Amino acid sequence: MRADTMSISHRDQVRQPDVAVVRAITASSGYFSQEEERLAGSLVLERLFKGLESGYHFLFAERAGQGGQADTFAFACYGPVPCTQGAWELYWIAVRQDMRGHGHGGELVARAAERMAALGGRRCLAETSARAQYAPTWRFYEAAGFTPVATVPDYWAEGEDNLIYMLRLGREEKTP
């Protein structure tokens, strides 16, 4: 374990400045369109407005910044899929560009998955593009324990399929 991981903390409370934080993290990643950046911010607003009734749970990763102020550098947004028994979806996971490549995203997903399981989640879904440029995203999900389970043709755009990943939540896979 690298020394700097010792100073990473996680929080699930959502505050007003997180609208801007989430947009900045999303923008920095270079992965998302402006529409997606706006959407990510709007989910924080929805959560602030409606609380957990919104269906949006957040988990943030922070480190101690200059002057002791927390520097929020990554977030996950997830929630239960309405009308299902225990299906959850990981809607967003993003790590600010300067903090990528250190396993913080995987750590955040693992912690979010624990929380979903504790709230009765059986399965976690994640959706991404089947276009080859998303191969790093596929590898990220696969490293986090997700399996591709379905493909929806022409979903994101004509010729751009949706790749649906699934993670089994809970501890049953750890029995020997």
Q: How far is the CB of 101 from a second copy (least distance, A)?
A: 25
Per-residue x/- marks for a second copy, 82-121, CB under 8 A?
A: xxxxxx----------------------------------
Query: Among residue numbers 2 through 41, which ones bind a second copy (CB under 8 A)?
Result: 33, 35-36, 39
Q: How far is the CB of 100 from a second copy (least distance, A)?
A: 21
Q: How far is the CB of 79 from a second copy (least distance, A)?
A: 14
CB of 12 or CB of 160, closer to a second copy? 160
26, two tokens: 């999303």
164 binds a second copy (CB under 8 A): yes
Q: Using the rule CB under 8 A, which residue among 1, 98, 157, 172 binds a second copy?
A: 157
- C-beta separation of 105 from 142 below 8 A: no
Q: Which of 46, 107, 47 is nearest to 75 (CA)?
A: 107
- Distance (Å, whole) CA 140 – CA 90: 13
25, two tokens: 């993290």
Which strands, in side-by-side order, build the sheet including 70-80? 8-11, 57-64, 70-80, 87-95, 123-129, 160-168, 147-157
Q: How far is the CB of 111 from a second copy (least distance, A)?
A: 23
Q: Which of 69, 62, 77 is nearest to 11 (CA)?
A: 62
* Chain positions contacting a second copy, by CB under 8 A: 33, 35-36, 39, 81-87, 122-123, 125, 149-158, 160, 164, 166
